[in-house]
């Protein structure tokens, strides 16, 4: 599926706004974001693949919908913690963004696994913004990958992408421009101030 620039921006904006709405609705006010609690808030069960063995070897996670309408996120629990947190947030993005599901061999419905699909990119955008909200990192003056990884409990790779994005946003002065983003920042502000007042 080919996506033009206007559609691409809409996909990004929808993912960004969904992540902010998710943080607001779940009353998330500290870092790292407790992704399992976020999933539980929405009634989504999170399951280790080692307990049910449904993931193909090259897949980190999937979203399942059973015949009773119950959502499950399955993640590869052999991967490092930062990676599994991103996987769960990514799959949560599929659900909250209303991505299309396809039936599988077991009678479940699951998200597509083709990494080239716009829905996969959008779910990545959602996960990055849920786990490492730019306005919070800005408030903490956290711009380096190592610092972002530590604060957000994400992989070095994901933190590197966020650091690059933070540099872009800083260069353009693009923080707190949306009412939703300001609301997220205000919710995190007491925690941010507490972190900044800690010695060394």
Residue 192 has pLDDT above 50, yes or no: yes
Write down the pLDDT at residue 189. Answer: 98
Q: Which stretch of 67-76, 107-116, 179-188 has the lowest confidence by average pLDDT?
A: 107-116
Single pTM value for the model: 0.91
Write down the pLDDT at residue 7. Answer: 83
Write down the pLDDT at residue 1. Answer: 47
Residue 127 has pLDDT above 60, yes or no: yes
DSSP code of 143? Answer: -
Mean pLDDT for 145-160 is 97
Encode pLDDT of 84-103 as tens digits.
999 999 999 999 999 877 76
> What's the rounded Cα separation, in Å, for the pair 127 and 91?
8
* Residue 82 C-alpha from the chain's centroid: 12
Cα-based distances in Å from 59 to 34, 63, 100, 102, 121: 23, 11, 18, 16, 15
The number of residues making up the chain comes to 200
Mean pLDDT for 40-44 is 97
> What's the rounded Cα separation, in Å, for the pair 73 and 78?
15
How many other β-carbons are positioned within 10 Å of the β-carbon of residue 163? 19
Beta bridge partners of 71: 65
Percentage of the chain beyond pLDDT 90 is: 72
Write down the pLDDT at residue 116. Answer: 64
**What does the mean pLDDT of the chain come to?**
90
DSSP code of 59? Answer: -
Mean pLDDT for 25-37 is 98
Mean pLDDT for 30-35 is 98
> What's the rounded Cα separation, in Å, for the pair 189 and 29?
8
Q: Which residue has the tokens 């946003």?
A: 169
Write down the pLDDT at residue 169. Answer: 94
């Amino acid at each position: 599926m080919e996506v033009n620039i206007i559609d691409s921006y809409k996909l990004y904006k929808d993912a960004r706004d969904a992540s902010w709405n998710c943080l607001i609705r779940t009353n998330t006010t500290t870092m790292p974001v407790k992704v399992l609690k976020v999933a539980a808030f929405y009634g989504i069960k999170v399951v280790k693949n080692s307990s049910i063995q449904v993931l193909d070897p090259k897949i980190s996670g999937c979203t399942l919908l059973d015949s009773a309408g119950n959502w499950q996120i399955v993640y590869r629990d052999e991967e490092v913690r930062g990676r599994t947190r991103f996987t769960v947030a990514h799959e949560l993005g599929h659900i909250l963004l209303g991505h299309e599901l396809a039936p599988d061999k077991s009678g479940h419905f699951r998200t597509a696994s083709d990494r080239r699909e716009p829905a996969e990119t959008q779910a990545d955008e959602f996960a990055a913004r849920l786990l490492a909200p730019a306005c919070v990192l800005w408030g903490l003056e956290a711009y380096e990958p190592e610092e972002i990884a530590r604060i957000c409990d994400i992989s070095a790779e994901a933190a590197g992408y966020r650091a690059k994005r933070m540099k872009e946003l800083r260069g353009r002065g693009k923080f707190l421009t949306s009412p939703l983003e300001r609301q997220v920042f205000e919710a995190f502000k007491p925690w941010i101030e507490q972190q900044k007042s800690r010695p060394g």
